[in-house]
Structure 1
Amino acid sequence: MKKKPVVVVIGPTASGKTEVSITLARRFDGEIISADSRQFYQRMDIGTAKPTNLEMNQVKHHLINVAQPDQVWSLARFCSEARNCIDNIHEREKMPFVVGGTGQYIWGLIEGWTVPSDAANLELRRQLEQWSEDLGSSGIHSVLSRIDPEAGKFIQETNVRRTVRALEVIFSSGRRFSDQRSKNPPEDLDFIILGIEWDRPKLYERVDLRIEGMLNSGLLEEVRYLISSGYDPDSSALSAIGYREITGYLTGKHSLDDAVMLIKRNTRQYIRRQANWFKKDDPRIKWFDAKMDLAHNMMIYLEKELKARQ
Structure 2
Amino acid sequence: MTVPAAYKPPLLVLVGPTAVGKTQLSIEIAKTWNAEIISGDSMQVYRGMDIGTAKIAPEEREGIPHHLIDEYEPDYPFSVAEFQRRCRELIADISSRGRLPFIVGGTGLYVESVCYNYEFVDSGADEAFREEQRRYAERFGEQALHERLRAVDPESADRLHPRDIRRVIRALEVHHLTGIPLSKQLEGQKKQSPYELCMIGLTMDRAALYRRIDERVDRMLKEGLVDEVRKLLAAGVPRDAVSMQGLGYKEIALYLDGACTLDEAVYLLKRDTRRFAKRQLSWFRRMKDIHWVDMGENFHKNLEMIHAIIAGKFGVHLECTSYQSFFRRG
TM range, smaller chain:
over 0.9
- Aligned partners of 1:233, 1:147: CA distance in 2, in Å? 26
* 87-96 or 56-65, larger mean C-alpha shift: 56-65
- Residue in structure 1 matched with residue 239 of structure 2 by the alignment: 233
- Residue in structure 2 matched with residue 243 of structure 1 by the alignment: 249
- Aligned partners of 2:288, 2:180: CA distance in 1, in Å? 31
- Residue in structure 1 matched with residue 147 of structure 2 by the alignment: 142
Q: Given the alignment of the two structures, is residue 213 of structure 1 paired with residue 219 of structure 2, yes or no?
A: yes
Match 1:118 to one of 77, 102, 123:
123
- Residue in structure 2 matched with residue 48 of structure 1 by the alignment: 53
- Residue in structure 2 matched with residue 306 of structure 1 by the alignment: 314
* 3-12 or 164-173, larger mean C-alpha shift: 164-173
Measured after TM superposition, the shift of residue 151 of structure 1 is: 2.9
Q: How does 1:101-112 map to 2 (within 5 A)?
A: 101-112=106-117
- Aligned partners of 1:22, 1:135: CA distance in 2, in Å? 46
Q: Residue 128 of structure 1 contacts residue 164 of structure 1 at CA under 8 Å; is this kept in 2?
A: yes
- Residue in structure 2 matched with residue 172 of structure 1 by the alignment: 177
- Aligned partners of 2:182, 2:163: CA distance in 1, in Å? 18
Q: TM-score, normalised by structure 1?
A: 0.93
What is the aligned length? Answer: 309
Q: Residue 10 of structure 1 contacts residue 194 of structure 1 at CA under 8 Å; is this kept in 2?
A: yes
Q: How does 1:30-45 map to 2 (within 5 A)?
A: 30-45=35-50
Structure 1 residues 199-238: Cα deviation after superposition (integer angstroms, max 9, x where no partner)? 0111111111111111111111101111111111232211
Measured after TM superposition, the shift of residue 83 of structure 1 is: 1.0
Q: What amino acid sits opposite 1:12 in the alignment?
A: P
* 292-301 or 100-109, larger mean C-alpha shift: 292-301
Measured after TM superposition, the shift of residue 282 of structure 1 is: 5.3
Q: Residue 2 of structure 1 contacts residue 188 of structure 1 at CA under 8 Å; is this kept in 2?
A: no
Q: Given the alignment of the two structures, is residue 160 of structure 1 paired with residue 165 of structure 2, yes or no?
A: yes
Structure 1 residues 114-165: Cα deviation after superposition (integer angstroms, max 9, x where no partner)? 2331222112211111112233333212211211223334444332111111
Measured after TM superposition, the shift of residue 3 of structure 1 is: 1.7
- Aligned partners of 2:46, 2:77: CA distance in 1, in Å? 9
- Residue in structure 2 matched with residue 96 of structure 1 by the alignment: 101
- Residue in structure 1 matched with residue 320 of structure 2 by the alignment: none
SS in 1 for 2:37: strand
* 9-18 or 245-254, larger mean C-alpha shift: 245-254
Q: Residue 116 of structure 1 contacts residue 180 of structure 1 at CA under 8 Å; is this kept in 2?
A: no
Q: Residue 22 of structure 1 contacts residue 58 of structure 1 at CA under 8 Å; is this kept in 2?
A: no
Q: Residue 146 of structure 2 contacts residue 162 of structure 2 at CA under 8 Å; is this kept in 1?
A: yes
Q: What amino acid sits opposite 1:217 in the alignment?
A: E
- Residue in structure 1 matched with residue 322 of structure 2 by the alignment: none
Match 1:254 to one of 260, 264, 287:
260
- Aligned partners of 2:199, 2:178: CA distance in 1, in Å? 36
- Aligned partners of 1:19, 1:304: CA distance in 2, in Å? 22
Q: Residue 16 of structure 2 contacts residue 201 of structure 2 at CA under 8 Å; is this kept in 1?
A: yes
SS in 2 for 1:69: coil
Q: Given the alignment of the two structures, is residue 201 of structure 1 paired with residue 207 of structure 2, yes or no?
A: yes
- Residue in structure 1 matched with residue 71 of structure 2 by the alignment: 66
Q: Which 5+ residue runs of structure 1 have no aligned equivalent?
A: none
* 234-243 or 44-53, larger mean C-alpha shift: 234-243
Structure 1 residues 216-265: Cα deviation after superposition (integer angstroms, max 9, x where no partner)? 11111101111111111232211211111111111111111111111111
- Residue in structure 2 matched with residue 27 of structure 1 by the alignment: 32
Q: Residue 38 of structure 1 contacts residue 237 of structure 1 at CA under 8 Å; is this kept in 2?
A: yes
Q: Residue 25 of structure 1 contacts residue 97 of structure 1 at CA under 8 Å; is this kept in 2?
A: yes
* 167-176 or 223-232, larger mean C-alpha shift: 167-176
Structure 1 residues 173-216: Cα deviation after superposition (integer angstroms, max 9, x where no partner)? 33333344452546531111101111011111111111111111
- Residue in structure 1 matched with residue 323 of structure 2 by the alignment: none
Q: What is the RMSD computed on CA atoms of the aligned residues?
A: 1.9
Q: Residue 128 of structure 1 contacts residue 168 of structure 1 at CA under 8 Å; is this kept in 2?
A: no
Q: Given the alignment of the two structures, is residue 11 of structure 1 paired with residue 19 of structure 2, yes or no?
A: no
- Residue in structure 2 matched with residue 263 of structure 1 by the alignment: 269
* 194-203 or 121-130, larger mean C-alpha shift: 121-130
Q: Residue 15 of structure 2 contacts residue 106 of structure 2 at CA under 8 Å; is this kept in 1?
A: yes
Distance 1:146 1:116, change over 3 A: farther
Q: Residue 115 of structure 1 contacts residue 180 of structure 1 at CA under 8 Å; is this kept in 2?
A: no
Q: Which 5+ residue runs of structure 2 have no aligned equivalent?
A: 1-5, 318-325
Measured after TM superposition, the shift of residue 67 of structure 1 is: 1.2
- Aligned partners of 1:180, 1:300: CA distance in 2, in Å? 36
Structure 1 residues 241-297: Cα deviation after superposition (integer angstroms, max 9, x where no partner)? 111111111111111111111111111111111121011x75511111213222222
Structure 1 residues 21-68: Cα deviation after superposition (integer angstroms, max 9, x where no partner)? 111011000000011011111100000000111123521001111111
